[in-house]
Amino acid sequence: MDYIYFLQLTANGLVIGLIYALIAVGLALLFGVLGIVNFAHGELLLIGAYAMAIALPAFGLAYIPGVIVAVLTAIIAGWFIYEVFLSKLGHGEFERSILITMGLSIVILNGIQYIFTATPLLVNTEFGYAGVSIGDIRVAWTRIAAAVLSAVTFAALYVLLNYTQIGRAMRAVSQNRDAALMVGMQPRKIGRNAVILAASLCGLAGAAVAPVQLVQPYLGQFLVFKAFAIIIIGGMGSIEGAVFAAIALGVIESWIGGFFPVVWQEAAGFIIMITVLMLKPSGLFSRGGMRVG
Amino acid sequence: MPFLAVTVVAVAAFLPLVVTSSYILSVGVTMFLYLVAAMSLNVIYGLLGLLSLAHIAFWGIGGYFTVIAVMDLGLSFWVALPLAGLFAGVVSIAVGFPALRLNRHSFVVVTLIFALLTTLVARDWVSLTRGPMGIPGIPSPYFFGHEIAGAYSFYYLAGAFALVSLLLLYLFFTSRIADTMRAINQSEDLARSQGVNPTAYKLLAFFLSAFFTAMAGGILAFNQRVIDPLIFDFFFMQAFLIMVIVGGRGSFVGVLVAGAVMSILPEVLRFSVDLRMVLYGLALLAFVTWAPNGLAGWIRERREERLRSELRQ
Amino acid sequence: MNSATPLLEVEGLRKSFAGVHAVDNMSFSVAHNTITGVIGPNGSGKSTTIDCISGFQRPNAGRIRLDGRDITRLTPQKIAKAGLIRTFQTVHIYEAMTLRENLLQAARPFQASGWVADFLRLPGMRREVDAAMVRADELVDMIGLRKYYDAPTRILSYGQKKLVALAAGLMPKPRLLVLDEPVAGVNPTRIREIEEVILNLHAAGESFIIVEHNVEFVMRLCERVIVFVGGSKMTEGDPKSVQQDARVLEAYLGIPA
């Protein structure tokens, strides 16, 4: 019985870890390509989650159309934010980028709270609360859908970053900005692509998380602080590091939550992060340390 | 200018004799505490350009320290409050020393992590802070046998605290110490080449800003009569930061005016908290994008332009 | 101040970046009350040497002594306090401060009063400010910018800013002032003014090291000239002998000796 409980925890942890990864990868991408820390990242996710919550009833609870609407909404928001604010930032205007994204975060979060109130929304899908049982392990369909969605996204992301012109350009800028600019890459176009990609990942994460957790205005902030910890553990700007750290953290949190007081579940991420910072100030996976600065 | 300052102080001092609405007086209490906290942030961020997100931590630490010192250790409020300031100051040195070793970007990251960590401690170290439910029933402080309770007496307590703190901070902002900080902010290499040790000034600034912010947080807790982890709400940090940016980083008068207006105006217009924050956020975006040096900077730039054209003739 | 010990003594200095020696086995010394010029082609290690002497770079090997005192591993601020002040190739001044404030600020670290005296405006602090004001008055007249005394230095021209940086370096009356390309990008009439200023100060007992690309400027001004090539000293001597040195011509013009 004990090992089944353990497997159950692991399965839940994997799902949460994959969602963390969707968020953290976007943060790492923006840090790498634009050199900014995006405080409005959680609010992009929030936009995705609320879009999902509104779209689902409109489509008769159909899951996939809801996800598409959520992703598109987040992309439009990200694009707007890039064109109006982020594109005006010079590379290395680190503090200004924090202030601007913090401003955006305040406006979006409180705007949503003003419109939808702080009352949590319960999001129902075509799957309802049904689940699937493998032996004694039971996983809800909404969780499986979230995991499959994330896994497919990561496969697509891998192909995009490694085998397409757009993705290679982003990686090039993130690894060696000066060299990339020297060979004539256009930072504005690449920056826009990175923001759109990160926003779509946020929208997807929002859509995935909406049926799994209650949708309320502080959902994004809660998740994004975790994502900060994750990209620090994974090495600022490292995408592989962020994915690995996110999944590991999801599973570890789930285990801790299953066996210890819930207090330690939340503290886990921070304790790991601080340990990593002390042992290796540039993060576990980083190649060249913090690239801003 | 001194005449204006004396007039404002006098009006503020006699206000409770005319206005009896405890709602208006409580807006005053909040304004006094925000002004001190925003001006404290203005020391480290305005004078030295170091964006500290740890202020929310010092604010909360000050609140919890004062409450615990009074309720669990039996200290007098008047002893506990400055002790809370000193304690936060010592913590700021302990955080600042490693945070300043890398660069100004890592300073932002480390102060953010510190802020998140203190929230966690307040929520999870239940034996000390009583966890998420907080500590209710905070007793009233007594001032020579006179109980300080309710909006009327807290208006005077917070007002006197703000007056003394802001006077001290004004002396500081107009001192040569602040000038050296401005110099470090403009060119750290030049300051070093002239014999200035920047780390000492950065730690001093961080200490002072933690000291005053923590005491403001302590008064806030006693005014609320209850303290819980919500005192670490990022809302406070955002409000202080926006006051500093709108007023103009490094400007004493600018931040004073912006802080007062931004504390009072939303109350006068009866905005809900969400709507107020949306407007704060829009103000932050607008200023950072179009007038990064705030109101004071905008005025200074106009004056410089005029001077430039005069001198060029 | 023993005149037998040189004012500045550099011995076997080495600094490498990623395995490449920018400066290697650099040795030279500078006597009291002199104007010493340092010239050399690009990449000869001039800037790196200045950065090492002033503490902004840590040398990998070697010794640096100021008036007999070892300053090799000190921080820039301690070296400045020991009496060696440098200026920067790209103009470094406090652009948001007035000219007067720039000069007073430069004197500040050399004054005795501490934070408490500053905060409380004690009489000792006021006396210091008055003394610094007298010095600033002298210098502002010397650089001829009294008109801009209370204007923010941001509005000054490039050449004027260079003069402000020079005056700020002189505020604390350093034992040795190292000027990193003081006339690069400055128009010719202004260069004459700067020459004048330096000569006047030299007559008053000030010592200078001048690192410059403008060879004519160095030859006119300096008693001794040191030539750097490839990260170490190639030769030194009075301006005339250096100018006639065949190796110097080769290094500069690529003419084989």
pLDDT tens, residue by residue, C24-35? 889 999 999 999
Q: Count structural domains, chain C.
A: 2
According to DSSP, the β-strands at C69-70 and C84-86 are unpaired
C241 within a domain of the structure (yes/no):
yes
Reported as a pLDDT band with limits 50, 70 and 90, residue C3 is low
Residues C52 and C74 in one domain: yes
Report the mean per-residue pLDDT for chain C: 88
SS3 B145: coil
Rounded Cα distance, A236 and B283, in Å: 30
How many CA atoms lie within 13 Å of A115's alpha carbon, on the beta-carbon side?
A: 10
Q: With left for phi above 0 and alpha for psi between -120 and 50, is residue B310 left, alpha or beta? A: alpha
Residues C50 and C166 in one domain: no
Asked whether the predicted pLDDT for residue C196 surpasses 50, the reply is: yes
Hey, which chains touch C, using 3+ CB pairs under 8 Å? B
Rounded Cα distance, A172 and A176, in Å: 6
Rounded Cα distance, C97 and B179, in Å: 9
- Is B124 in Cβ contact with A100 (below 8 Å)? no
Asked if B274 is an interface residue toward chain A (Cβ–Cβ < 8 A), one would say yes
Q: Please say which residue of C172, C199, C219 terminates a domain.
A: C172
Q: Closest approach of chain C CAs to the CA of B170, in angstroms?
A: 10
Of B109, B234, B285, the CB nearest to A107: B285
Is the CATH number 3.30.43 carried by domain A2-279?
A: no
Paired strand residues for C69 = C66
Task: Give the global pTM.
Answer: 0.87
Q: Is the ipTM of this complex over 0.95?
A: no
Q: Please say which residue of C151, C172, C193 terminates a domain.
A: C172
Nearest by Cα to A254 from A8, A24, A2? A8
Asked whether the predicted pLDDT for residue C253 surpasses 70, the reply is: no
Strands (E), chain A: 131-134, 137-140
Residues C55 and C116 in one domain: no
pLDDT tens, residue by residue, B39-65? 999 999 999 999 999 999 999 999 999
Neighbours of B110 (CB within 10 A): 22
A39-48, A157-166, A262-271, C126-135 — which is least confidently predicted? Answer: A262-271
Of B49, B113, B280, the CB nearest to A106: B280
Measure Cα distances from A138 to A7, A130, A161, B171 in Å. 10, 10, 35, 67
- Give which of C54, C56, C74, C105 to mutate to test B binding, by max B Cβ within 10 Å: C105
Residues C161 and C192 in one domain: no
SS3 C51: helix
Rounded Cα distance, A37 and A44, in Å: 14
Asked whether the predicted pLDDT for residue B168 surpasses 90, the reply is: yes
According to DSSP, the β-strands at C61-66 and C35-39 are unpaired
Virtual CA dihedral for B61, B65, B68, B71, nearest 10 degrees? -130
B257 within a domain of the structure (yes/no):
no
> Could you tell me the two tokens for B249?
């980083």
Q: What are phi and psi of C9, to 5 degrees?
A: -135, 120
Cα separation of the two ends of chain C: 42
According to DSSP, the β-strands at C176-180 and C207-211 are parallel
Locate tokens 């799902």: which residue? A15
Reported as a pLDDT band with limits 50, 70 and 90, residue A157 is confident
A117-126, B85-94, C69-78 — which is least confidently predicted? Answer: A117-126
Of B197, B304, B311, the CB nearest to C148: B311
C88 within a domain of the structure (yes/no):
no
Looking up residue C1, the CATH number of its domain turns out to be: 3.40.50.300
Asked whether the predicted pLDDT for residue A143 surpasses 70, the reply is: yes
Asked whether the predicted pLDDT for residue B101 surpasses 80, the reply is: no
SS3 A8: helix
Residues C168 and C180 in one domain: no
Is residue B295 within 8 Å of B246, Cβ to Cβ? Answer: yes
Reported as a pLDDT band with limits 50, 70 and 90, residue C52 is very high
Query: Where in the sequence is the domain holding C212, given as residue range(s)?
Result: 1-83+174-257
Q: Which residue of B has its CA nearest to C83?
A: B195
pLDDT tens, residue by residue, A81-96? 999 888 888 766 788 8
Residues C70 and C45 in one domain: yes
pLDDT tens, residue by residue, B243-268? 999 999 999 999 999 999 998 888 88
SS3 C64: strand
> Could you tell me the two tokens for B74?
């039996």
Residue type, A38: N
> Could you tell me the two tokens for C22?
């920018």
A226-230, C30-34, C124-128 — which is least confidently predicted? Answer: A226-230
Locate tokens 């006068």: which residue? B268
Which A positions 69-108 lie with beta carbon below 8 A of chain B?
85, 88, 94-96, 98-100, 102-107
Q: What are phi and psi of C69, to 5 degrees?
A: -95, 130
Q: Please say which residue of C124, C153, C172 terminates a domain.
A: C172
- Is B102 in Cβ contact with A106 (below 8 Å)? no
SS3 C14: strand
B308 within a domain of the structure (yes/no):
no
pLDDT in the model for residue A290: 36
- Give which of B95, B113, B127, B240 to mutate to test A binding, by max A Cβ within 10 Å: B113
SS3 A275: helix
Query: Where in the sequence is the domain holding B116, given as residue range(s)?
Result: 27-232
Q: What are phi and psi of A85, to 5 degrees?
A: -115, -60
Q: Closest approach of chain A CAs to the CA of B239, in angstroms?
A: 10
Rounded Cα distance, A186 and A196, in Å: 16
pLDDT tens, residue by residue, B11-25? 888 888 888 888 888
Domain parsing of chain A, residue ranges: 2-279
pLDDT in the model for residue B43: 97
Q: Count structural domains, chain B.
A: 1
